């Protein structure tokens, strides 16, 4: 059955539809996760982040101090 006639003389049929297959995902079987290991990883990451921020603050204070000494001389 004719539905539409386009400007390039192609006809769109109502019955001419393509059926798509549903997407299937294959997952691995469930692996048990220990919550203590995950919490320890988070604690270690927080400690490392804190150390990095302290080192950065130390460098900034050192640079400001050295610049202050040079300016005062």
What is the distance between the alpha carbons of residues 57 and 39, in angstroms, rounded to a whole number? 27
The SS3 call for residue 1 is coil
pLDDT at 1 (0 to 100): 47
**The pair of three-digit structure tokens given for residue 7, joined into one six-digit string:** 């400007």
pLDDT at 57 (0 to 100): 97
Map out the domains of the chain as residue ranges.
Answer: 2-72
How far is Cα of residue 29 from the mean position of the Cα atoms in its chain? 24
The tens digit of pLDDT for each residue in 20-56 reads 777 777 777 777 889 999 999 999 999 999 999 999 9
Cα angle 46, 59, 69 (rounded to 5 degrees) comes to: 155
DSSP classification of residue 5 = E
pTM of the model: 0.51
């Amino acid at each position: 059955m004719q539905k539409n006639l386009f400007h390039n003389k192609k006809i769109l049929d109502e019955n001419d539809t393509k059926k798509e297959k549903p997407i299937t995902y294959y997952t691995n079987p469930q692996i048990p996760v220990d919550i203590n290991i995950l919490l320890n990883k988070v604690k270690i990451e927080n400690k490392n982040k804190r150390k990095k921020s302290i080192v950065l603050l130390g460098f900034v204070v050192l640079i400001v101090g050295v610049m202050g000494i040079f300016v005062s001389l």
